Amino acid sequence: MIYSPTLLGMGAYVPEAVVTNFDLSKRVDTSDEWIVSRTGIKQRHYLAPGETTSDMCLHAAQRALAQAGLASSDLTHLLVATCTPDSYCPSTACTLSAKLGCHGVFALDINAVCSGFVYGVSLVRDILGGNQTAKILLVGADGLSTRLNWEDRGTCVLFGDGAGAAVFSVETAAKLAPGNAVVRDVRIHSDGSLGRLLHIDGGGTSAPYALGDTVGPEYFVRMEGREVFKHAVRNMTAICRETLEANGLAVADVDLFIPHQANLRIIEAVGEKLGVDSSRVFVNVDTHGNTSAASIPIAMTEALEKGRIRPGMRVLVSTFGGGLSWGAALLDF
């Protein structure tokens, strides 16, 4: 029997620099207690000077390829989900392809902000549906520390930098190894009418600039936190239910739930509404903060490394981000 798509390997990377809440309290009017009580975040990682999104992608990609037992020359497609590219042009995917030394591949950036990786899984499914010989690298990566307004303490404490990568192909069940998974379903939605709740405008055609202009708050993350919280909980809960019902499953059939790591209060609220016991919810927001498009693949990689995901388990992931966008994917390991 042919399974499509098949997850063959994963890898993650976070920069070396660890920034604690105490570190932030030296720069912002905040405290460890204030941040932890509202978000569950204790620390996060920031890009080093000169380090780029594609650099993070490279580290994560190399680890995913090694786990999959593939070389970069085996790849046919390379997708990078990010809202913080190295540059407007060329795409970060093209830059990454050069760093990996895989020339001639299909290389494309996608931007669904924090939902980018799950959106990418949907694209992977579509690509493999038309080309069952494809070998696809999907990377979710963001360096939002470069887009933080340090005068906005409610937002600047939330984000960290990182990258997570996954390799997909089509394989028969007989070839599946520990750590491999079949993507049983993936579902995505958006509501552009709510886009102003979470946005970065500066530099785009809606907020153009000229040589010599000063950099204003429009160049940094702006978010209506309470509204985003409500929509995140509501939509992540709804799409998880939609995905399970479409596959004839109940919450009890899920062995591990991996939600977008944005805020511990959101994670707990979604888990409570779904009726998922906390022992079946994976959380690493305390050590990484919100890494945007990297959130889901970093969490999946760490869950595999820590033995939280084992062969025979069913895993449900769900995400929410700017756009507004949200999604869920169901994987059988």
Burial class (CB in 10 A: 0-12, 13-18, 19+), 332: middle
The stretch 205-210 carries a mean pLDDT of: 90
According to the model, what pLDDT value does residue 174 have? 59
Percent of the chain whose predicted confidence (pLDDT) is above 70: 98
* Short-list 143, 5, 179, 168, CA closest to 78: 168
The stretch 210-221 carries a mean pLDDT of: 91
Q: Give the separation between CA 147 and CA 161, rounded to whole angstroms.
A: 11
According to the model, what pLDDT value does residue 39 have? 96
According to the model, what pLDDT value does residue 177 have? 85
Burial class (CB in 10 A: 0-12, 13-18, 19+), 300: buried
The stretch 162-189 carries a mean pLDDT of: 89
Percent of the chain whose predicted confidence (pLDDT) is above 90: 91
Residue located via tokens 């936190």: 225
Higher pLDDT, 290 or 202: 290
* Known active-site residue 240: no
The stretch 19-30 carries a mean pLDDT of: 95
CA distances 190 to 81, 144, 223, 236, 304, Å, are 16, 22, 17, 12, 29
Which pLDDT tens digit goes with each residue over 232-255?
999 999 999 999 999 999 999 999
Choose the catalytic residue: 45, 59, 260, 288.
Answer: 260
According to the model, what pLDDT value does residue 47 have? 98
Residues near 180 by Cβ (< 8 Å), separated by ≥ 6?
6, 7, 8, 9, 171, 333
The stretch 217-236 carries a mean pLDDT of: 95
Are the C-beta atoms of residues 297 and 166 closer than 8 Å to each other?
A: yes
Which pLDDT tens digit goes with each residue over 282-299?
999 999 999 999 999 999
According to the model, what pLDDT value does residue 4 have? 73
* Known active-site residue 102: no
H-run or E-run covering 240: helix 225-246
pLDDT of residue 110 exceeding 90, the answer is yes
Residues near 245 by Cβ (< 8 Å), separated by ≥ 6?
none
pLDDT of residue 1 exceeding 50, the answer is no
pLDDT of residue 31 exceeding 50, the answer is yes
The stretch 196-222 carries a mean pLDDT of: 92
According to the model, what pLDDT value does residue 119 have? 98
Confidence grade of residue 171 (pLDDT, cut at 50, 70, 90): confident
* Short-list 127, 145, 143, CA closest to 135: 127
According to the model, what pLDDT value does residue 27 have? 93
pLDDT of residue 2 exceeding 60, the answer is no
* Known active-site residue 83: no
- The strand pairing partners of 17, in sequence order, are 46
According to the model, what pLDDT value does residue 173 have? 62
Which pLDDT tens digit goes with each residue over 34-84?
999 999 999 999 999 999 999 999 999 999 999 999 999 999 999 999 999
Confidence grade of residue 175 (pLDDT, cut at 50, 70, 90): confident
Q: Give the separation between CA 315 and CA 110, rounded to whole angstroms.
A: 24
Choose the catalytic residue: 114, 156, 199, 263.
Answer: 114
